[in-house]
Chain A
Amino acid sequence: MKTIVLAGSPNTGKSVFFCSLTGKYTTVSNYPGTTVEIFRGIAKISGKAVEVIDTPGIYSLKPVTEEEAVSVRLLTETSPDLILHIVDAKNLQRMLPLTLDILKGSTPLILVLNMMDEAERLGVRIHKKELSRRLGIPVLETSITKGQGINALKKEIGSQLSKQGNAKRKNRHGNLALVHSSFKNHREAEKLLDGVFFKGAPNAFKGLEKFVLHPFGGSVLITFILYVGLYLIVGRFGAGYLVNMLEGELFGRLIIPWAERWTEMYIPGVMIRQLLVGEFGIIALGLRYAFGIILPIVGTFFFVFAILEDSGYLPRIAFLADGLMKKIGLNGRAIIPLILGFGCGTMAVLVTRTLENRRERIIATFLLTLAVPCSAQLGLILAILSSEPRYLLGWIIVITAFFTITGVLINTLLPGRRTPFFMELPPLRLPTIKAVTQKTFARMRWYFSEIIPVFMFISIFLWLLTVTGIWGVFSGKLTPILDLMGLPQSLSTVFLYGFFRRDYGAAGLYDLYMQGLVNSVQLFIAAVVLTLFVPCVAQLAVMVKERGAVVTALIVLTVAVTAVIAGIMLNKILF
């Protein structure tokens, strides 16, 4: 099968091309660095199946961050049959040098001038025929989010591929590895565009854009967005209203009573009945937590986050937060994985690839593990503690303090240096309902494909432990530690869930709270300890993959000890 690679600078719409060529959705946003992995899909072009590869954006063939290195390796070390270099038409001057670099290899190339609608609105004009003649490659115009130009592009891809015949090509661009954008290249690009590219009106800096980036106005806006987005939408609506409806009404009054009656009638063995509807049963615990509690919270968070991503707001937050992030050894860039961590820590650890050096990736991973609660935790803790505002405030203060203090400490202890901050700010755009819902659903599908197998496993595992009596022994062992923190023994289950999935731990705590088994001080301490405590199994797996086993083990050990010490200290202070 023939292979084509989508390459180009960050935030030029490669993933949208991937999606419209293959019909497969990958996350699309309005900021540089959305794609951190290579995605493969199959497209049908001129009646033939063709493999399409979507790559993380690169500025040149000399990678700066880890995800860029992935793309550069793909371009320099493998031999695709065709490369599509996708550029933002209005920024052609800046992006053409990369085209010239790729041209030095011998893979056939098509230059795609994307976002033509935006360029035309600004009055930019490009003589694509002349440009194509000068470069000696096909040049096409598209506005991919509106679907304009995709048919012509498919036709061109088809004719390029059929020209090559079927002979398997050898790796023909060994020399490409040595090339990188040089100043000479930029001058050459300038010459090439002379009489071909005409600038339009400058894009104005005014109104909202100006306000968003204002040192004071911008901070007010962030606080407002956090309040509306996290507290009102995720906390009150998702974790409050929706959880009540789904967990309380749907599961509590309909599904579980029905399942209990059904198993009573049709399942003979008590053991099997336990496995389904017992304390840790697949329906009573697993399904209820997954769909009744976690789904509405994670869903509302992903929705809010999708709006932020598509608006182009995140890189602006990065600029405003740069000064603060430097105090903990990171730069503004790191704010994006950290905010994503409030959604799902597993995803966030993957996105730390966009940071420039290993030290920054380790610090960000550590903070994500210790002091950034995932959306399920956050939503439930907001819901549980909102009845006692002073404990909610206390929780926010304690977690923020741990974030800051450990951040500053690790920055002083870890050898090495942070990197300077630079980031391209994409235009602010109004997110479309279609793109936001598509992304929210895609993320939820990913999330649930991760957690469904785990919850099945937890239910079966805990059922086995109870049936064999090991559970009693185990939770007995935890009792002295819980005692030190002033917590009842019933919380040992919660901590064990928390080890498998953070969100299940929080869901367990929510359960105990609803049953009135813990008082408010205990709730507060448990909320703090659970937030700080070790990450869930999925995040752990990603950490080992991304950071290696040794670093992961060190982080987890530090985090576990810190969490327990925090619990003991709070207990000493409050009782």
Chain B
Amino acid sequence: MGEITTLNECKEKTEGTIVEISSTDSRILGKMMSLGIIPGASFILLRRGSGVIVQIGYTKVALDAELAMLVRIKPRR
């Protein structure tokens, strides 16, 4: 198991588990939750650009760097 880092620092093809969303803003938390970005969910990082595209379950979600930075994750391997 790797070190805990944020989604924004992951390379493409990284797989792992979401640990927490470091925000107290209920709007942001609600948004993330409704897209399936919740602690315990596994993800694959598909694309990096100015933001990231992650897949969680069957959902592909685009997040900008600002939001990706808030998602703390634990990479697999």
Contacts and interface: CB of A to CB of B under 8 A. Distances in A.
29 contacts: A9-B34, A90-B57, A94-B35, A97-B33, A181-B33, A203-B55, A203-B58, A205-B46, A213-B46, A213-B47, A213-B49, A319-B47, A319-B49, A319-B51, A319-B53, A319-B62, A322-B51, A322-B62, A323-B50, A420-B63, A420-B64, A421-B63, A421-B66, A421-B67, A422-B61, A422-B62, A422-B63, A424-B35, A425-B60
B64 A91 contact: no
B67 A420 contact: yes
Interface string A319-332: 11011001000011
A139 to B, nearest CB: 19
Contacts of A291: none
Contacts of A62: 26-27, 30
Contacts of B60: 424-425
A315 B64 CA distance: 13
Contacts of A202: 44, 55, 58
Contacts of B31: 59, 64, 422
Nearest to B21: A183
Contact of A93 (B30, B50, B55, B57): B57
Given A331-B64, A332-B62, A420-B64, A205 B57 contact: no
The secondary-structure label for the interface of chain A is: mixed
A318 B63 CA distance: 11
A122 interface: yes
B5 to A, nearest CB: 19
B22 interface: no
A9 B26 CA distance: 19
Contacts of B63: 420-422
B12 to A, nearest CB: 10
B34 A421 contact: no
B38 A186 contact: yes
Interface string B3-30: 0000000000000000000000011101
A180 interface: yes
B62 A93 contact: no
Contacts of A98: 34
B27 A93 contact: no
Q: Which 7 A-B pairs have the closest CB atoms?
A: A59-B34, A323-B50, A421-B64, A425-B60, A319-B62, A94-B36, A90-B58
Contacts of A320: 49
B64 A205 contact: no
A199 interface: yes
Nearest to A200: B58
A168 to B, nearest CB: 34
Given A322-B64, A331-B64, A59 B53 contact: no
Contacts of B66: 420-421
A423 interface: yes
A174 interface: no
A124 to B, nearest CB: 8
Given A202-B55, A323-B49, A424-B35, A64 B61 contact: no
B30 A64 contact: yes
Given A64-B30, A203-B58, 9 more contacts: A59-B35, A62-B26, A186-B38, A202-B55, A205-B55, A322-B50, A323-B49, A421-B64, A422-B32
B30 A213 contact: no
Contacts of A424: 35, 59-62
Contacts of B32: 422
Contacts of A459: none
Contact of B59 (A91, A181, A215, A318): A91
Interface in A173-223: 180-181, 183, 186, 199, 202-203, 205, 213-215
Contacts of A88: 58
A421 B62 contact: yes
A179 to B, nearest CB: 12
A124 B59 CA distance: 14
